[in-house]
């Protein structure tokens, strides 16, 4: 615990305590029967009772809830107040953040955006936005959670008027938890199918294959135009037919796994195999989360580290394949003309916010379980380096394999894999099918894929449940409160997921991915987070609070980013996104109907409108002039732990208040 420092007395936000020689009073985090009465809503003087052993009737003082800059309301923590859990060791927090932030996005989203946006040129806007947007907000969310010791909703007690930010992040993370797990269900399906002597996606002799299926593309034999009508291999296909030929892995993905229909308006029947896989994954997530951070902190040690072992093995195998060099060069060599396209910058910003898990509230929840004086500033840089480094490393693995597939099919690298999550279910399975003992490698890869997504998923659920439980303080304590809350969350998401295991499920999945937890919503969320902390609460004031926690002031760059640079970046990319908006398509062929886009915009607006609607509602409900309403609603509500960590020791009170008798009233500031 950090040393408690004496604070100067102030004209407001004061707690008056009477100390007696016989019965010294100690401040505790809800222990020992100490109770902090919540302040009245109108900012009046409120009696504060602190019970002490042997003090008849307790000791009564007053807490002035004023509107001064450093004022605040002390949040009640009665006898039922439950002390917040903390990580068993600090490495639990690091591994949980690595597990959450390093996920499927690093494997299939980042490489896909790379080849879509001109290869290596994508790294330029990516790295730029990391330093002006990613790291500052990543640090902001972790430090805010650690400072307020609350989940994504109650953390905004730092400026109660903007509590809508908490509700917005809860909506986003709920949608994200709902659709993200589908990738895990597909991965689990592939994992089960891997336990066969011959991988089902390696041949064309299956019921789901079409006459266009061909296992080996003989492009070398077709280079001479005079042989255009010669039959190639044993497939009875001519060179002219080769252009329309399809790989067995693509047919397995589209015809067997998805069994995809013609559009969103044709949901078709449910895939019972996928339903069982989905159910199994949700059960797995439930038992990872149900006991809280004490259990999740241990599980992530395995789920966060094992994928790196498999990625290294796949890279070694990938670079030895023919065509790998061309693929890696496509990844590294930038196409400078792409920098002129707004979409490249939009995708870079979107990827940063998605990959760093910004705006979802889960980082805030993880930070809230830290010790109060943990060095979260250093943690933020370590985690950012690991996250971006993994994305960059995974790109080499993917592009070495894409280069091989392009060489095999005789096409440009950008045409090898279809867009979307299919990259992980087309390029990677193709690579493992070419290795000796293919089923073993396939099982290993999809087990890694499952672990990559699993820790991201259960930490996302943890963040959502933490935010919900924080709304019900200790007086609502129930022995199995957490277990019940997690069960309800998982069940509700599972019911929604049933729409994604139909034949039209892929179209529903893309709606969620494109609108609910993608660029627009995360940029909007990040913009308001910066505005509230930097301009409503005060950037300098929050930097002081961070210094109080970690023992030194962070580099001023953070403050400049929160105040000016990051909000401008966020709103700039947000506006670019609106101006350059294009209707959603699937594989650049199927265009969504108008009512499908309406559903998508409803998903996006359901979180984005939480902030302005909540703000207006609170302002209209409050009393007084606009200035009085604003002052009251932006006064922070402090938790009991702020008293414990920020208040001076009772024994030193007499020394800081000269001329006052030991039995007289001692005054000290109750908040920062």
Residue pair 416/409 in contact (Cβ under 8 Å)? The answer is yes
The DSSP code for 83 is P
Please indicate if the annotation marks 455 as binding a ligand.
yes
From 639, 670, 343, 393, select the one nearest 519 (Cα to Cα): 343
**Strands, E assignment, 39-124:** 45-50, 59-64, 73-74
Which residue's entry shows tokens 């001076």? 648
Residues 605, 608: Cα–Cα separation, whole Å: 5
The encoded tokens of residue 284 equal: 């797995």
Contacts with 486 (C-beta within 8 Å, 6 or more apart), sequence order: 286, 289, 290, 461, 465
Q: How is 115-172 classified by DSSP, letter by letter? A: HHTTBGGGHHHHHHHIIIIIHHHHHHHHHHHHHHT--TTGGGGGSGGGTHHHHHHHHH
Could you report how far apart the first and last alpha carbons of the chain are, in Å? 17
3-state helix, strand, coil in the chain (%, to 5): 60, 5, 35
Please indicate if the annotation marks 387 as binding a ligand.
yes
Residues 445, 452: Cα–Cα separation, whole Å: 10
Between the alpha carbon of residue 608 and those of residues 273, 360, 469, the distances in Å are: 36, 12, 23
The encoded tokens of residue 488 equal: 């309800």
Kind and range of the H or E run holding 398 = helix 376-409
Residue pair 119/552 in contact (Cβ under 8 Å)? The answer is no
Please indicate if the annotation marks 101 as binding a ligand.
yes
Please indicate if the annotation marks 452 as binding a ligand.
yes
Residue pair 302/448 in contact (Cβ under 8 Å)? The answer is no
Please indicate if the annotation marks 499 as binding a ligand.
no
Please indicate if the annotation marks 212 as binding a ligand.
no
Which residue's entry shows tokens 């672990």? 451
Radius of gyration of the chain (CA): 28
The encoded tokens of residue 386 equal: 């690991």
Residues 458, 292: Cα–Cα separation, whole Å: 10
Please indicate if the annotation marks 431 as binding a ligand.
no
Residue 458 DSSP SS3: helix
Please indicate if the annotation marks 456 as binding a ligand.
yes
Q: How far is CA 619 from its chain centroid?
A: 30
* Helices 342-355 + 376-409 axis angle, to 10: 120
Count Cα neighbours of 538 within 13 Å in the Cβ-side half-sphere. 15
Residue pair 384/94 in contact (Cβ under 8 Å)? The answer is no
Kind and range of the H or E run holding 49 = strand 45-50
Q: Angle at CA 481, nearest 5°, toward 480 and 482? A: 95
Please indicate if the annotation marks 106 as binding a ligand.
yes
Residue 83 has a CB neighbour count (10 Å cut-off) of: 14
Q: Which residues are annotated as a binding site?
A: 99, 101-102, 106, 355, 387, 452, 455-456
Q: Which residues are annotated as a binding site for Na(+)?
A: 99, 101-102, 106, 355, 387, 452, 455-456
């Amino acid at each position: 615990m950090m040393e408690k420092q004496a604070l100067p007395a102030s004209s407001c936000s004061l707690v008056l305590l009477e100390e007696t020689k016989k019965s010294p009073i100690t401040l505790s985090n809800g222990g020992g029967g100490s109770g902090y009465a919540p302040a009245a809503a109108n900012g009046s003087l409120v009696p504060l009772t602190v019970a002490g052993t042997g003090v008849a009737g307790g000791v009564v003082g007053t807490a002035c809830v004023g509107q001064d800059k450093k004022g605040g309301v002390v949040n009640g923590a009665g006898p039922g107040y439950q002390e917040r859990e903390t990580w068993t060791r600090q490495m639990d927090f690091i591994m949980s953040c690595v597990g959450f932030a390093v996920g499927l996005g690093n494997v299939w989203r980042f490489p896909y955006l790379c080849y879509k946006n001109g290869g290596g040129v994508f790294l330029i806007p990516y790295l730029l936005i990391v330093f002006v947007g990613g790291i500052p907000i990543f640090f902001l969310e972790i430090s805010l959670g650690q400072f307020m010791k609350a989940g994504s909703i109650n953390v905004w007690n730092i400026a109660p008027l903007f509590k809508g930010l908490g509700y917005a992040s809860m909506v986003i993370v709920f949608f994200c938890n709902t659709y993200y797990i589908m990738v895990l269900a597909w991965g689990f399906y592939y994992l089960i199918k891997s336990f066969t002597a011959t991988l089902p996606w390696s041949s064309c002799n299956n019921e789901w294959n079409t006459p266009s299926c061909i296992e080996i593309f003989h492009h070398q034999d077709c280079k001479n135009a005079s042989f255009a009508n010669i039959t190639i291999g044993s497939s009875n296909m001519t060179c002219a037919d080769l252009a329309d030929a399809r790989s067995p892995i693509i047919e397995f993905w589209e015809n067997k796994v998805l069994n995809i229909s013609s559009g969103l308006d044709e949901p078709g029947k449910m895939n019972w195999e996928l339903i069982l896989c989905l159910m199994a994954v949700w059960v797995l997530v439930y038992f990872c989360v149900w006991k809280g951070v004490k259990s999740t902190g241990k599980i992530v040690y395995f789920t966060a580290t094992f994928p790196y072992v498999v990625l290294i093995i796949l890279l070694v195998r990938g670079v030895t394949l023919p065509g790998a060099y061309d693929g890696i060069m496509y990844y590294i060599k930038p196409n400078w003309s792409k920098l002129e396209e707004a979409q490249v910058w939009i995708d870079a910003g979107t990827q940063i916010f998605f990959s760093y898990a910004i705006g979802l509230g889960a980082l805030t929840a993880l930070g809230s379980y830290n010790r109060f004086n943990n060095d979260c500033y250093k943690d933020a840089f370590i985690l950012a380096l690991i996250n971006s480094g993994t994305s960059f490393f995974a790109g080499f693995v993917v592009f070495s394999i894409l280069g091989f597939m392009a060489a095999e099919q005789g096409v440009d690298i950008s045409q090898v894999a279809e867009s979307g999550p299919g990259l992980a279910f087309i390029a990677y399975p193709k690579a493992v099918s070419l290795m000796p003992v293919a089923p073993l490698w396939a099982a290993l890869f999809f087990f890694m894929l499952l672990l990559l997504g699993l820790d991201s998923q259960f930490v996302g659920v943890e963040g959502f449940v933490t935010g919900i439980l924080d709304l019900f303080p200790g007086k609502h304590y129930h022995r199995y409160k957490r277990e019940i809350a997690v069960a309800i969350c998982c069940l509700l998401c599972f019911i929604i997921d049933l729409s994604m295991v139909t034949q039209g499920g892929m179209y529903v999945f893309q709606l969620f991915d494109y609108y609910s937890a993608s660029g627009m919503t995360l940029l909007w969320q990040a913009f308001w987070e910066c505005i509230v902390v930097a301009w409503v609460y005060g950037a300098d004031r929050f930097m002081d609070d961070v210094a109080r926690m970690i023992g030194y002031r962070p580099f001023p760059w953070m403050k400049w980013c929160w105040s000016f640079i990051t909000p401008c970046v966020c709103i700039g990319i947000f506006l670019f996104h609106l101006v350059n908006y294009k209707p959603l398509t699937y594989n650049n062929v199927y265009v969504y109907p108008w009512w499908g886009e309406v559903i998508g915009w409803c998903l996006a607006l359901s979180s984005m409108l939480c902030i302005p609607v909540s703000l207006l509602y609170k302002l209209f409900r409050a009393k007084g002039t606009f200035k009085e309403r604003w002052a009251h609603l932006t006064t922070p509500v402090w938790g009991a732990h702020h008293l414990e960590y920020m208040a001076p020791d009772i024994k030193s009170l007499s020394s800081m208040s000269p001329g006052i008798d030991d039995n007289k009233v001692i005054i000290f500031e109750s908040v920062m």
